[in-house]
Amino acid sequence: MHSGEPGASTVVARLVDVLFVQAIRTYLSQSPARGGSWLRALVDPQIGRALSLIHEQPDAPWTVQALAERVAMSRSAFSARFRELVEEPPLTYLTRWRMARAARMLHQTDENISVVAARVGYEAEAAFSKAFKRWNGLAPGEYRRRHRLSRNGRSGNGRSGAIIEAP
């Protein structure tokens, strides 16, 4: 794959996510002491698979029912086990993951906000903008502008220039 090919950066980003999850799973399966709750969730056969699905396909129209079906669990059992291991409900985790990915895309690319919205599962840019602002406190365009300023070595209105990391 060449860096100039259409979609190459998206393919690489997704492969990195999958490899990261697999590396942690391998480490935890060989380690006698289990890590934190999120790490325990990765080695759980069903919840780990659900996390992989969320990470691999953040743009999919996920519901608790759809995730539960994909990992062969009832909706209620899936929701309870996910909450126990990840320490938050499935859709809350999904939203945080989507917003963190969107923040990274806004910071690192020049893609139109509607494209970023679609890549993290939002059909409507307005719905994405509202969710992003609720998550971060800034509208997507303002977030991008401030991070461009901080990237160029200038302050962005007193706010931190740090990128919020994905869960």
- Rounded to two decimals, what is the model's pTM? 0.69
How far lies 5's CA from each of 8, 54, 59, 77, 136, in Å?
5, 25, 21, 43, 32
Q: Report residue 162 as tokens.
A: 């740090």
Q: Give pLDDT tens digits for 113-136.
A: 999 999 999 999 999 999 999 999
Q: Determine the Cα–Cα distance for residues 159 and 146; give it in Å rounded to an integer.
A: 8
Q: Determine the Cα–Cα distance for residues 88 and 59; give it in Å rounded to an integer.
A: 20
Residue ranges of domains in the chain, CATH in brackets: 8-87 (no CATH), 94-151 (1.10.10.60)
Q: Give pLDDT tens digits for 60-101.
A: 999 999 999 999 999 999 999 999 999 999 999 999 999 999
